[in-house]
Structure 1
Amino acid sequence: MTKTNQELFEKHAEDFAYCETVIKKYSKSFYAAFSQLPEKKAKSVYAIYAFCRLADDTVDLAHSEEKLLALKQQLDAFALGEIPDEPIWRALSVVFSVYPMNLAPFYDMIEGQKQDLVFTQPETFADLEDYCYYVAGSVGLMLLPLLSDQAEEIQSPAKLLGEAMQLTNILRDIGEDNQMGRIYLPKEMMRDYGVTEAMLHASKPTKSLIDLWEAVANEAEQKYEASFAMLPLIDPNCRLALTAAAMIYKEQLTVIRENHYLMLDRKNYVSQLRKVQLLRKAKKDVEKRKDDSHQSTL
C-alpha cells in the first residue's frame, strides 16, 4: 500500500526534527523566515538546508577532499534510489518523493564546495558570480519545487536571490574568511579600488575598502531587487517566507553600515527584535503586492 505524504512525514518525524535542529543552530535568519511555510514545506526546507550545511562543513570544518568525495558518492547512491542510512538522507528521500525535485543543483553545490577546498581568489566579479551560483544560487534551485508549481519559469530570479545572499555572506565575513586564507573580493576590483591584502588584516577598514565593499553591496542589492520578479509565480502560501528570507538576509548589509563597516575583526548580526520587525514588514509587503496585483486585473 502506498503511503500518503502525511504518513511519510510522520514516519520520518525524527529525521526531520534532526534537520530542524541543524537550521536552528546554524541559520537563525533562514529559520525565522522559512518556519513561516506550511509544515511539510518547512520541514522539506530544513532537510535541504541540512544537506547544504553538511557539504559546507565538510570543507570549512573538516577540510577534507576525502569526505567531500564520500558525500558525492552518497549523492550518487541516492540518485540510484539507495538511501544512505542517515537522518538527512532519509528526510531528503521523503522530499524527493513528494516534490518534483532535481538532483542537478545538489551536484552543483558539491562542485562549489570543491572550489573552496582548493581555493583560488576570483580574478573578476564575473568569476565571483560564478562561484556564488555554485554555493548559493544552486540552493535557490533546490528550493524552487517546494515554493512554486512553475519552477521552470523562475529559475533565473531564484538563482539571483541565492547569489545575492552569498555576496552578503562574503561582505559580512571578510575578516573571518581572511583568517582562513580566503579572499573572495575579486583581484580586479581590489586593484581598481586600491585595496591591498594588508588592509584586510587591519581592525578598521580604510575608505578604499569601504568603497569596494559598497560596490559589491550594490551588486547584491540589485540581485535582491531583481529576484522579486519571481514572487507572482511563487505559491501564495510561500510568498511570506521567501520575502522574509530576502529581507532579513539583506538587512545584514544595513547593520554593517550602521556599525561603521566594522567587519574585519567581528561579525555583524541582525537582532531577534529586528527579525520580528522585518517579518511584520514582509507580511505588509506581500499583502501590498497582492492588492496591487488584484487592482491591475480589474
Structure 2
Amino acid sequence: MGELDGIDPALHPAYRLCRALNAEHGKTYFLATRLLPVARRAGVHALYGFARMVDDVVDVAAADDDDGPIGSRLDALEDRLRAALGGGPTGHSESDLVLAALADATARYDIPHEYFYAFLHSMRMDVPGSPVFRSRYRTMPELAEYMYGSAAVIGLQMLPILGTTCAIDEAVGPASALGEAFQLTNFIRDMGEDLGRDRIYLPTDELAAFGVDEELLRNCRATGRVDPRLRRALAHLIAHTRAVYRTAEPGIDLLDPAVRSAMRTASVLYADILREVEDSDYRVLERRARVSRRRRVAVAAPRLATAGWSSLRARRHPASRPPLPVTD
C-alpha cells in the first residue's frame, strides 16, 4: 500500500508537493510522519504544506513587495482557501496544488474548516499594520489567543486523521496541549531570532518576575553573555513548558494504537529541544538549540523499523488479520 492509494490520481502531484515541503522543512515533523500508518501520511503532509505556505507569506516575504502587503496577501489566500474548501476549482501554481491537497484531505477526514481560519487569525497577529498585530504579550492568558490559532488547532486538525479510541471530544484537550507545548518550545528556542525581528513571544510578566526586561535581553544578545536573571527566567519557562507536555501525555493513549508511536516520538524529540537549551547554558539569544541527528535517529529508528515491518506485513498479507499495532 502506498501513501497515495485511494486518492484521485489527479491530486497525486499536489500531495507529492506537500510531502516534499514536509521533508525539506519539517525535520522532526517529517520523521514522526514516517512512523504513521502509510494510508494516513498524505493527509498529514497536506496539513503541513498549508501551514508552511502561510508561514512563508508571513515570515519570508517582505512586508511590501511586488506581490503586495502581507495582510492583503493573507486576505487573498483566505479567499482562495474558502473557495477550495467549498469545492471550487484550483489552479496549477504550487500554492494552488497545496490548497487542492488540503481541500481533499479536509473533506476525506471531515476536518472542521474553522481550524484553518483560526490559524490565519493568529498569523495576522504577526503582521505589522494588521488590526490584531502584536509583537509583545504580557501574560500567558494573552498569549493563549495566539497559541490557539498557531498551535492548538494544528493538533485539532490532526485528530480526525490520526483517529482515536474514544469520542474525539475527549482527546481535544490533550491534543491542544501538545500543540501548545510544541509552540512554547519554539518560543524558547527561537528567542534570539524573534528578538531580532522585534518580537517577544514569551510573556513579559513572566520574564519581569526574574528581573528580565527588553533592555537586558538586547544587551545579552549583543554581548553574548547569559545574565543569571535570564537563566533563571528560562529555567522557569522550561519547567512550565514541561508541565504542558505532561498535560498532553495522557492524550497519546487516546489515539489509535497504530499512531501512538509516531506522536510519542514527536513529543520526545521536541521536548529534547528544551534539554538542548539547558545544555547550552540557555544561550538562546545567540544560537538555536537543535536536537542532534544522532539523537533523532536513536529515538526514531526502532520505531521506524517496527512501522516498516508492520507495513511490509500488510502488503504481503492483505487478506490476513490486521497487523499488530505499532508498540512503544
- TM-score under structure 2 length normalisation: 0.81
Matched ranges for 1:269-280 at <5 A: 269-279=290-300
Query: Percent same amino acid among aligned pairs?
Result: 28
Higher helix share: 1
Paired residues of 1:15 and 1:90 also in contact (CA < 8 A): yes
Unaligned runs of 5+ in 1: 292-298
* 1:268 partner letter: A
Paired residues of 1:83 and 1:89 also in contact (CA < 8 A): no
Q: For residue 205 of structure 1, give the secondary structure of its aligned residue in structure 2.
A: coil
Q: Indicate which of 108, 111, 115 corresponds to 2:118.
A: 108
Q: Indicate which of 163, 187, 191 corresponds to 2:208.
A: 191
* 1:65 partner letter: G
Query: 1:281: how far off?
Result: 7.4
After TM superposition, which residue ranges in structure 1, 4 or more long, deviate above 4 angstroms?
280-283
Query: 1:9: how far off?
Result: 5.1
Cα distance 1:290–1:278, how it changes in 2: closer, same or farther (>3 A)?
closer
Equivalence for 2:262: 241
- Quote the Cα distance in structure 2 between the aligned partners of 1:153 and 1:54: 30
Q: For residue 286 of structure 2, give the secondary structure of its aligned residue in structure 1.
A: coil
Q: Indicate which of 279, 295, 298 corresponds to 1:258.
A: 279
Query: 1:275: how far off?
Result: 0.6
Aligned residue pairs, count: 285
* 2:17 partner letter: Y
Equivalence for 1:294: none
Alignment of 1:131 onto 2:131: no
**Per-residue displacement from partner, 1:47-78 (whole Å, max 9, x unpaired)?**
10111111122111224111111111112212
Deviates more, 1:103-112 or 1:189-198: 189-198
Query: 1:282: how far off?
Result: 6.7
Q: Indicate which of 173, 177, 199 corresponds to 1:156.
A: 173
Alignment of 1:84 onto 2:83: no
- TM-score under structure 1 length normalisation: 0.89
**Per-residue displacement from partner, 1:273-298 (whole Å, max 9, x unpaired)?**
10111225778xxx9x979xxxxxxx
* 2:84 partner letter: F
Matched ranges for 1:1-298 at <5 A: 6-8=5-7, 10-62=9-61, 63=63, 64-85=70-91, 86-117=96-127, 118-149=133-164, 150-201=167-218, 202=220, 203-279=224-300
Equivalence for 2:321: none
- Quote the Cα distance in structure 1 between the aligned partners of 2:280 and 2:180: 24
Deviates more, 1:91-100 or 1:20-29: 91-100
Which has the larger Rg?
2
Deviates more, 1:28-37 or 1:165-174: 28-37
Unaligned runs of 5+ in 2: 64-69, 128-132, 305-323
